[in-house]
Amino acid sequence: MDFDDTPEEALFRAEAVAWLQAHARLRSGQSAEARRRRARDPSPEAQAAHVAACRSWQAILHEGGWAGITWPAKYGGRGGTPMQQIIFNQEQARFDVSTGSLTVGLGMVGPTLLRWGNDDQKSRYLDPILSGAEMWCQLFSEPGAGSDLAGLSTRAERGSGGWVVSGQKVWTSLAQHSDWAILLARTNRAAPKHRGISYFLLDMTAEGIEVRPLRQIDGVAHFNEVFLTDVHVPDEQVVGEVDGGWKVAQTTLQSERLAIGGGEGLRFEDVRAVLAATTTDKDPLVRQEVAAAFTRFELLRYLGYRVQTAISQGRPPGPESSVMKLAYSEHVAATADLLVQIEGVAATLGGSAAPAGGLPQQQFLTQWSSRIGGGTDEIQRNIISERVLGLPREPDPGTSSADRSQQPMTPAEEGKVSL
């Protein structure tokens, strides 16, 4: 494992730091005010303000030539290396800025279009994504198709000049603020379930779309239900081949898992600050759990270094990239439990009465987002066992052995993913 920058990487890092210092304010993660900002304000106004701030910062990145560092220059990117993107992300994390609301577009739609989109689609959609002018959401999961995403029932039928889509999607992050969506719909009900799905780009202002926010246990309406009733989607908004959307979706889902696995949020400094504000810091059992939390933080950091080293040396990342999402979600759950344990009875308080701005409560209540979103912990274990370790595939209760023998699926088609 290599912890040091090459001379070229060091020069790029210095350039990035200089630009960030000139355009953003350093984050003060130790302050009580910073911790309060990390505990989400549940009001729609606060959410809208955060979305606007993300768009504004993305526009500044785009204008300064720092948006889409690995994307081709002809599509608005910088034409740089994955290692340069990692370096910039590392340095940007030290500043009080965010592009989190644009994650679907930047981290999922962009890579998918670069891999599968045609020239017209790349020219139309990529630059507005990079500039923050257009925000995207993901219409994949359904009430009856979560862990088995390929079991989706939203249908797209041939219409005049395109497709007519009807169905229901759920757990759609920030759909109420999005301009566009990526959509999976069944276009061939006679085909095996993985082979009759197509991948669409959907204008969220189209007639027949209804978005209903879902208020979560912490009071935030981050997720949404989306109802589609005879929504027209033109032919030019199909990505890849008709009925071949599952392989396109795998690019999106892989990007999503990497984004979650490499996600930052809670830091060990937050745990230490909550501990220091209580009298439990002398409890040997609590101290043991805090030490375990520190170990998890470090393990994730070194897993990230392994991925970074492989990318820097021009090698594909190894198994560490597959386990990061699962390791991260398990870490979030264990650390959230620890925070409320540290606070004790004070963890039952909310709002302005809660210590640390309500950060422990917010982390505890929202841990399920990372444990379910992007692939449940159980599904991630299946992926690791089958694709990393090479263990036998777990039987699919919805498919008979005769069907499986007649319709063999490729490894990419076998993925069962929760959103």
Residue 162 parent element (H or E): strand 162-169
Contacts 24+ apart (CB under 8 A), 43-50: 44/221, 47/174, 47/177, 47/220, 47/221, 47/222, 48/177, 50/98, 50/100, 50/101
Which residue ranges make up each domain of the chain? 7-98, 138-243, 262-375
Query: Catalytic: which of 91, 134, 142, 256?
Result: 256
Q: How confident is the model at residue 117 (pLDDT cuts 50, 70, 90)?
A: very high
Contact 250, 415 (CB under 8 A): yes
Q: How many angstroms separate the Cα of 385 from the Cα of each of 321, 389, 411?
A: 14, 5, 13
Which residues lie across from 238 on neighbouring strands? 200
Residue 334 parent element (H or E): helix 320-343
Residue 200 has pLDDT above 80, yes or no: yes
Q: How many angstroms separate the Cα of 4 from the Cα of each of 7, 8, 10, 262, 305?
A: 9, 11, 9, 19, 10
Do you know the residue count of the chain? Answer: 419
- Count CB atoms within 10 A of the CB of residue 22: 8
- The class that CATH gives domain 262-375 is mainly alpha
256 part of the active site: yes
* Residue 352 burial class via C-beta count within 10 angstroms: exposed 0-12, middle 13-18, buried 19 and up: exposed
Contact 179, 205 (CB under 8 A): yes
pLDDT at 93: 86
pLDDT at 32: 42
Q: Which two tokens stand for residue 141?
A: 């999961």
Phi-psi region of 293 (alpha: psi -120 to 50; beta: other; left: phi over 0): alpha
pLDDT at 39: 54
Look at 17-21, 173-177, 248-252, 320-324 and tell me which has the smallest mean pLDDT.
320-324
pLDDT in tens, 39-58: 567 788 889 999 999 999 99
Q: What's the mean pLDDT in 356-378?
A: 80
pLDDT at 174: 95
Q: What is the DSSP string of 109-133?
A: IHHHHHHH--HHHHHHHHHHHHHTS
pLDDT at 180: 98
Q: What is the mean pLDDT of the chain?
A: 85
pLDDT in tens, 343-365: 988 888 877 788 777 888 888 88
CATH: 2.60.120, 1.10.540, 2.60.40, 1.20.1070. Which one for 7-98?
Answer: 1.10.540
Residue 253 has pLDDT above 80, yes or no: yes
CATH architecture of 138-243: Beta Barrel (2.40)
pLDDT at 33: 40
Q: What's the mean pLDDT in 391-416?
A: 53
pLDDT at 317: 64
Residue 307 has pLDDT above 90, yes or no: no
